[in-house]
């Protein structure tokens, strides 16, 4: 269990939630056999394509989005090192969203039916995937609440907090500092605003002393205040694993 010099970033991320057995680790390693490299702005897969595989993110930044018929865009989610892409597509035959690399990225593709093996042989991993899928739902619900019931300023704050806590899992930052390659149009497309409104909100937040900016880095100066502003809850640093099956005793 050499968690520090872990080769797989998926195992590292999952390992923050539960103790992984060596057979769990083997199963995870099998998901990461292959590697695909993508340049910034490369499209990994398009909405409507048949789903060939799921991905583990080894490094990089990706987003998934759909385009509306009137030309506007809805950015659904961002993905980062250690994330699994495609849990939300498990029920579909076709991709529901276009997946794009916003920065140079490395992905490990694995076929959908590799999950078959996990579901039959690795009960703890199955439980973990269910829990992660539930966590993703919680995040979507929070976003939905922000979109449906908050003004532009609060929605912007909400997104910054979400990105911050999401990235903190791998970045280990404690200072409220956040590095975000998304431009303001993309940010707006995540929270139902135009690039113009996002700009105005960010300028305003900066003038209010709540955030500071330098290029693509944003620093959240008063985390507590910001969190109270939008009733934010961190969904990322912990999940409930108490209901998981016992780890297997055997196997070294």
DSSP letters for 210-225: SEEEETTEEEES-HHH
Structure tokens of 210? Answer: 């709540």
226 binds, among DNA, its own copies, none (CB under 5 to 8 A by kind): none
Q: Identify the residue among 2, 243, 249, 252 touching its own copies (CB under 8 A).
A: 243
Q: Identify the residue among 1, 29, 134, 203 touching its own copies (CB under 8 A).
A: 134
Q: Angle at which helices 184-191 and 195-207 pack, to 10 degrees? A: 100
Q: Does the protein bind DNA through residue 66 (CB under 7 A)?
A: no
Alpha-carbon distances of 27 from 17, 22, 114, 170, 246, rounded to whole Å: 17, 9, 9, 22, 17
113 binds, among its own copies, DNA, none (CB under 5 to 8 A by kind): its own copies
Q: Identify residues 168-197 at the interface with DNA (CB under 7 A).
A: 183-185, 188, 192-197
Q: Identify the residue among 53, 58, 124, 153 touching DNA (CB under 7 A).
A: 153
Give the separation between CA 27 and CA 117, rounded to whole angstroms.
8
Q: Does the protein bind DNA through residue 219 (CB under 7 A)?
A: no
Can you name the residues that pair with 179 across neighbouring β-strands?
217
Structure tokens of 13? Answer: 């991320």
Residues that bind its own copies (CB under 8 A): 51, 66, 68-69, 72-74, 76, 87-93, 96-97, 112-113, 115-116, 119-120, 123-124, 126-127, 129-138, 140-141, 143-145, 147-150, 189-192, 231, 235, 239-240, 242-245
């Amino acid at each position: 269990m050499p968690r520090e010099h872990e080769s797989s970033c998926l195992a590292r991320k999952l390992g923050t939630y539960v103790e992984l057995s060596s057979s769990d680790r083997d199963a995870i390693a099998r998901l990461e056999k292959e590697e695909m490299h993508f340049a910034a702005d490369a499209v990994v897969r398009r909405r409507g394509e048949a789903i060939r595989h799921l991905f583990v993110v080894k490094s990089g930044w990706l987003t998934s989005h759909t385009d509306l018929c009137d030309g506007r865009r809805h950015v659904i989610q961002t993905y980062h090192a250690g994330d699994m892409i495609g849990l939300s597509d498990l029920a579909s035959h076709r991709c529901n969203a276009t997946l794009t690399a916003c920065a140079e990225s490395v992905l490990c593709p694995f076929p959908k039916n590799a999950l078959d093996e996990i579901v039959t042989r690795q009960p703890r991993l199955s439980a973990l995937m269910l829990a992660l899928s539930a966590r993703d739902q919680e995040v979507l619900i929070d976003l939905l609440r922000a979109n449906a019931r908050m003004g532009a300023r609060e929605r912007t704050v909400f997104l910054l907090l979400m990105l911050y806590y999401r990235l903190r899992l791998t970045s280990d930052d404690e200072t409220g500092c956040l590095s975000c390659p998304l431009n303001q149009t993309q940010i707006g497309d995540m929270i139902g605003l135009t690039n113009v409104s996002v700009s105005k909100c960010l300028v305003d937040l900066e003038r209010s002393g709540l955030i500071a900016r330098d290029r693509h880095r944003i620093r959240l100066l008063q985390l507590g205040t910001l969190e109270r502003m939008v009733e934010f809850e961190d969904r990322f640093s912990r999940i409930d694993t108490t209901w998981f099956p016992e780890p297997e005793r055997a196997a070294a």
